[in-house]
């Protein structure tokens, strides 16, 4: 599985959109860091994105709220905006398997908090609930959130074009390259390179494709 950073969809320093293929569909994972001014959250709500097949949105949202932290008695004015964003992406708030703080306070007088959250598409059965791993945080004050993804064993059929060594097709290909090169206008180097790399190859394979399809 290969992930691609899609800056063409969202180009923001605190928002990363990763795309990956699953069968015939493109799925998305969104990672967010929203500062104390909720810059990323405001950006996302003001720049409506249409990302079908978003499977996970997670990150440090810097929002303390009793909805996900029972030790915090208040509600944030930013919670509605965050839940509205999640709903627009068909995502639900994921309660961790092992609830606990996700950020440990540097000052012993301050309390630990839950500000790192995960939102998961409920229709995607491969993605389970996330878990917190405080032992893995090391020097960081944030706890890693880990989501286990079940991957079923699948056979993927691949097809490719080839020319057998010393075959008639190889002889024809070499002859086509030679004849094509001799017929080129060498005064136009760009045209010559394009023809050799793209046009001539396509033309030849189209001509003989029935032989080794």
pLDDT digit string (tens) for the chain, length 213 residues:
688 999 999 999 999 999 988 767 889 999 999 999 999 999 999 987 778 889 999 999 999 999 999 999 999 999 999 999 999 999 999 999 999 999 999 888 899 999 999 999 998 877 888 999 999 988 999 999 999 887 766 666 666 667 788 888 888 878 877 777 777 666 666 666 665 556 666 666 666 554 444
Interatomic CA distance for residues 87 and 80, integer angstroms: 10
Q: Which domains does the chain have, with CATH numbers?
A: 4-149 (3.60.10.10), 168-211 (no CATH)
DSSP states along 175-193: HHHHHHHHTS-TT-HHHHH
pTM: 0.69
């Amino acid at each position: 599985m290969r992930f691609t950073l899609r800056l063409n969809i969202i180009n923001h320093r605190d928002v990363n959109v990763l795309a990956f293929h699953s069968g015939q569909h493109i799925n998305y994972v969104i990672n967010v860091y929203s500062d104390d001014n909720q810059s990323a959250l405001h950006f996302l709500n003001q720049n409506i994105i249409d990302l079908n097949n978003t499977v996970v949105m997670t990150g440090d949202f810097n929002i303390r709220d009793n909805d996900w932290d029972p030790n915090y008695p208040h509600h944030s004015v930013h919670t509605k905006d965050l839940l509205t964003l999640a709903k627009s992406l068909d995502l639900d708030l994921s309660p961790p398997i092992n609830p606990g703080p996700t950020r440990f306070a540097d000052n012993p007088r301050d309390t630990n908090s839950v500000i790192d959250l995960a939102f998961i598409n409920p229709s995607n059965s491969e993605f389970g609930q996330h878990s917190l791993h405080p032992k893995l945080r090391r020097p960081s004050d944030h706890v890693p959130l880990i989501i286990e993804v079940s991957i079923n064993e699948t056979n993927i059929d691949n097809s490719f074009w080839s020319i057998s060594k010393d075959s008639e097709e190889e002889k024809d290909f070499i002859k086509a390259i030679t004849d094509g090169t001799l017929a080129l206008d060498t005064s136009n180097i760009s045209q010559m390179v394009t023809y050799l790399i793209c046009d001539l190859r396509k033309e030849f394979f189209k001509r003989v494709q029935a032989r080794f399809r």
